Chain A
């Protein structure tokens, strides 16, 4: 299996621009997670989906952040408008069920200038 696939790996954008991060989970996994990692706050859960349905988005920092999962093999995390404090590594992860191992992608490194 190719694992969790994220794109882009690196993105540099200007403040105010829209950013879209993409994720393809491992086939057959029912749970999809979006995490954000920064030096100050570590790895934080933003939102997770079960069977394509958003279950808990309490970690999404502001209304500027939105996430969708239109089908079982694709999810997006969108930031509009982006701000410098959004600079971080964004990880997508998936798991087969709620008590199974979580597999992380390689991350999308976002820099907002």
Chain B
């Protein structure tokens, strides 16, 4: 069956450290993988997109990797801050044709303590 898995347990780290979140998928061949941030009581907000032919993408303190062989994406936040505390969702396009039918993981909650 098709699955997207993110660690359901919260990730607790100290301010200044690098947070690494994992997204694994099975039985999909996405052309894109996206990461979103969701704060409590708010809608998801798009952060980064990485294409299947890209190994790594960076945006300020964020870095995403995409390994189509391992069927895994890693999301890194360097020099983490308490303001980075949120739930992070990965999403992929199962059809490889666009974002009309994104499939989301259940998210990992990140807690950054001062």
User: Footprint of B on A, CB under 8 Å?
Assistant: 4, 31, 33, 41-45, 48, 50, 55-56, 91, 93, 95, 98-107
**Can you add 11 more A-B contacts, CB < 8 Å, to A43-B44, A99-B99, A101-B49?**
A42-B89, A42-B104, A42-B105, A43-B89, A48-B100, A91-B43, A99-B98, A104-B43, A106-B42, A107-B41, A107-B43
In the bound complex, how far is the Cα of B101 from the Cα of A105, in angstroms?
17
B residues 8-65 in Cβ contact with A at 8 Å: 41-46, 49
**B1 at the A/B interface (Cβ < 8 Å)?**
no
On chain B, the residues within 8 Å of A102 by CB distance are: 46, 99, 102
Smallest Cβ distance from A6 to chain B, in angstroms?
A: 8
Identify the interface centre among A31, A33, A42, A91: most chain B CB within 10 Å of its CB.
Answer: A42
**B68 at the A/B interface (Cβ < 8 Å)?**
no
Residue of B nearest to A45 (CB): B101
**B81 at the A/B interface (Cβ < 8 Å)?**
no
In the bound complex, how far is the Cα of B91 from the Cα of A103, in angstroms?
14
Smallest Cβ distance from B97 to chain A, in angstroms?
A: 7
Q: Known A99-B99, A100-B99, A102-B99; judge A43-B45 contact (CB<8 A).
A: no
Query: Top 6 nearest A-B pairs by Cβ distance?
Result: A104-B43, A98-B98, A42-B106, A43-B104, A101-B46, A99-B98
Which residue of B44, B46, B102 is within 8 Å of A45 (Cβ)?
A: B102
